[in-house]
Amino acid sequence: MQPDDLSRQLTGTLGDRILAVEPFVGTAGRVRFRADGALDVFRAVRDDLRFGHLSMVGAIDWVDHREVFYVVWSDEAKQYALLSTDLPADAAHVETASEIWPSANWHEREAWEMVDITFDHHPDLRHLLMPDGYAFHPLLRSFKLHEPEELEVKSRRV
């Protein structure tokens, strides 16, 4: 499967909910979609394109916006495809994929606690790796591990 095939099959049914289909090394392609049509995109990718296995959901903090990406695999085509959507940093929320692929459940919990992405209608959105009530989102760029240290070197008297 090539990016063109993906694009032809998806844009026919989904129209402008698909923003672009780009080539991506080692996969069938990367589908950029609009966040408000997420559920339709997931359904089309699973049922029409037969990508039955969702491997991973990850999120990236690009400071001015955030990105959520999904990696899916098709046992028929023996190929991966990437789906990705951009979200505004001040209202980062997208529909959960766990209705379509139950495996999304934990991945989305992790993306929520690490990068502060809200997954609407998620069945169980609570902390996974961090303790309950943890107030920070460690994988945001604003969460610094440490400030650069400045060492003062004093000359030693011999």
Partner 1 sequence: MGPQHPMTHGLWNLRVKIDGEMILDVDPEMGYLHRGIEKISEDRHYNEVITLMDRCCYVAGFSWEHLYILSAEQALQLRPPERAEYLRVLCDEFQRIASHLMWYAAFVQDLGLMSPFLYGMRDRDLVLDLFQSYTGARMTYEYMRVGGVRSDLPLGFTDQARKVLDWLSDRFGEYDQLCMGSTIFRERCDGLGRMTASECVAHGVTGPMLRSAGLKRDLRKDRPYSAYDRLEFDVAVADGADVTARYLVRMEEMRQSVRILRQVVDWLDHHPGPVLADRLPRWLGAPYAPIGNEGYLLKRNYPKGVGFSSVEEPHGEAQAYVVNDGGEHPYRVKFRSPVFANISAARQYLVGYHVADIPPIMGSVDVCVGEVDR
Q: Which stretch binds partner 1 (CB under 8 A): 8-16, 33-41, 50-58, 89-97?
A: 50-58
Binding of partner 1 at residue 54 (CB under 8 A)? yes
DSSP letters, 14-26, are: HGGGEEEEE--TT
Beta strand 79-88 with 30-33: parallel, antiparallel or unpaired?
Answer: parallel
Cβ–Cβ under 8 Å, residues 56 and 68 = no
d(CA 124, CA 118): 12
Question: Would you say 11 or 27 has its CB closer to partner 1?
Answer: 27
Q: Is 64 helix (H, G, I), strand (E, B) or coil?
A: coil
Residues between 128 and 147 with contacts to partner 1, criterion CB under 8 A: 128-131, 138-139, 143, 145
Binding of partner 1 at residue 93 (CB under 8 A)? no
Q: Which stretch binds partner 1 (CB under 8 A): 2-10, 12-20, 24-32, 89-97?
A: 24-32
Question: Would you say 26 or 157 has its CB closer to partner 1?
Answer: 26
What is the smallest separation between the CB atom of 16 and partner 1, expressed in angstroms? Answer: 25
- Identify each DSSP E strand in the chain by its residue range: 18-22, 30-33, 53-61, 65-74, 79-88, 93-95, 118-120
Q: Which stretch binds partner 1 (CB under 8 A): 4-12, 20-28, 35-43, 89-97?
A: 20-28
d(CA 3, CA 31): 8
Interface ranges with partner 1 (CB under 8 A): 24-27, 52-56, 58, 60-61, 69, 71, 75, 78-80, 82, 101-103, 105-106, 114, 127-131, 138-139, 143, 145
